[in-house]
């Protein structure tokens, strides 16, 4: 793999920054963080220009402050771009989850469903938050990048990968929509008449193989396992196919997006499963508050609250369930 001059210089800068960072605080005004100074901004702006000026479909190597390496694609304007420029994608939600779960589980196994190119599972393993991981990603190209990223981070022995989707049934095939500019928004095709905000009718369609979560995970300790699910509205069917697993109540994180759920008319199925699992606690990760009660109307209030939002970035959240 060819690494251009910028990547080599960036690696040198990162090494130097780690060594001199403690001394730089003496020269930065107290009300400003290290990341707010000119040096940091110039690096970020340079990376933005490099990423945004690449030809469509160009693969780039990103290296962050933790020396985590990711191969990203210049066509991916969301996860890939964020990792290249900022070093991660929404990993703060994962860290906040671990803060809430502190002393409630032993962090042994992470189950990353909708793993994409490894934005959650790779730093989770490489930084030692979990000992091992099961990473599940249905899209062949994302899975290829996921496999490469695991390899170049030298954690192949710690992450078991599956190039499948999860759903209600084993040995099922479903049509899968491929987004051309957001590789985190590939999703199972639906027949919904819900207003199409993302021009799904123009997307490439492929077929993916489906398994049940209960088939993939059979022998596990719920007190040592975190299940992390982000499957673009297909969450209800993943829960249905993982009923035996989730009745054991391992900590569970799901994306909650009424628009995405409506595409499959699956909100009631999602609610039914969540009530059946009988988790004692639910925490809204993005908004940072506990749901006081987990009755049916609690979920309904949450559903209509996020459904009423017009701004795309406010139409969803992540929910953490635990005992």
The string of pLDDT tens digits covering residues 144-178 is 999 999 999 999 999 999 999 999 999 999 999 99
Among residues 84, 104, 131, which one ends one of the domains?
84
Q: Do 111 and 46 have their domain in common?
A: no
Q: Do 122 and 141 have their domain in common?
A: yes
Q: Do 179 and 310 have their domain in common?
A: yes
User: Domains in the chain: how many in total?
Assistant: 2
Q: Give percent of the chain with pLDDT exceeding 90.
A: 77
Of the pLDDT bands very low, low, confident and very high (cuts 50, 70, 90), residue 36 is low
For residue 311, the enclosing domain spans 91-322
Q: Do 124 and 164 have their domain in common?
A: yes
Q: Do 286 and 318 have their domain in common?
A: yes
pTM of the model: 0.86
Among residues 57, 84, 111, which one ends one of the domains?
84
Among residues 58, 84, 110, which one ends one of the domains?
84
Q: Give percent of the chain with pLDDT exceeding 70.
A: 86
The confidence score (pLDDT) of residue 17 equals 47
Domain CATH number, residue 248: 3.40.50.150
Q: Do 39 and 148 have their domain in common?
A: no
- If you write DSSP's letter for every residue of 181-246 in order, what string do you get? S-TT--EE-----S--SS-GGGSEEEEEEEE-HHHH--S--GGGEEEEE--TT-HHHHHHTTHHHH
- If you write DSSP's letter for every residue of 38-58 in order, what string do you get? HHHHHHHHHHHHHHHTSPTT-
Of the pLDDT bands very low, low, confident and very high (cuts 50, 70, 90), residue 40 is confident
pLDDT reading at 188 higher than 90: yes
The confidence score (pLDDT) of residue 163 equals 98
Q: Do 161 and 35 have their domain in common?
A: no
The string of pLDDT tens digits covering residues 267-294 is 999 999 999 999 999 999 999 999 988 9
Given a contact cutoff of 8 angstroms between Cβ atoms, the answer to whether 227 and 252 are in contact is yes
Q: Do 56 and 116 have their domain in common?
A: no
The string of pLDDT tens digits covering residues 72-93 is 999 999 999 999 999 999 999 9
Q: Do 146 and 275 have their domain in common?
A: yes
């Amino acid at each position: 793999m060819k690494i251009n001059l910028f990547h080599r210089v960036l690696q040198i800068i990162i090494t130097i920054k780690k060594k001199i960072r403690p001394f730089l605080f003496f020269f930065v005004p107290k009300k400003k963080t290290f990341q707010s100074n000119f040096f940091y901004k110039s690096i970020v702006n340079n990376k933005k220009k490099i990423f945004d000026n690449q030809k469509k479909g160009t693969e780039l190597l990103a290296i962050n402050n933790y020396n985590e390496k990711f191969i990203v694609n210049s066509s991916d304007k969301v996860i890939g771009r964020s990792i290249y420029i900022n070093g991660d994608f929404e990993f703060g939600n994962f860290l906040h989850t671990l803060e809430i779960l502190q002393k409630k589980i032993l962090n042994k196994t992470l189950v990353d469903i909708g793993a994409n190119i490894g934005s959650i599972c790779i730093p989770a393993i490489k930084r030692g938050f979990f000992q091992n991981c099961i990473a599940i990603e249905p899209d062949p190209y994302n899975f290829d990048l996921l496999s490469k990223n695991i390899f170049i981070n030298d954690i192949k022995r710690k992450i078991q990968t599956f190039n499948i989707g999860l759903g209600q049934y084993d040995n099922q095939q479903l049509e899968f929509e491929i987004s051309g500019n957001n590789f985190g928004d590939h999703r199972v095709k639906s027949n919904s008449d819900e207003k199409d905000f993302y021009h799904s009718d123009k997307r490439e369609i492929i077929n993916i193989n489906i398994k049940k979560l209960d088939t993939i995970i059979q022998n596990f300790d719920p007190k040592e396992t975190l299940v992390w699910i982000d499957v673009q509205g297909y969450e209800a069917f993943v829960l249905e196919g993982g009923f035996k697993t989730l009745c054991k109540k391992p900590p569970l994180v799901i994306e909650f997006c009424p628009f995405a759920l409506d595409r499959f008319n699956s909100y009631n199925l999602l609610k039914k499963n969540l009530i059946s699992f009988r988790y004692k606690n639910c925490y809204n990760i993005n908004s940072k508050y506990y749901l006081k009660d987990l009755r049916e109307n609690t979920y309904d209030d949450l559903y209509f609250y996020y459904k009423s939002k017009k701004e795309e970035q406010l139409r969803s959240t992540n929910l953490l369930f635990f005992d």
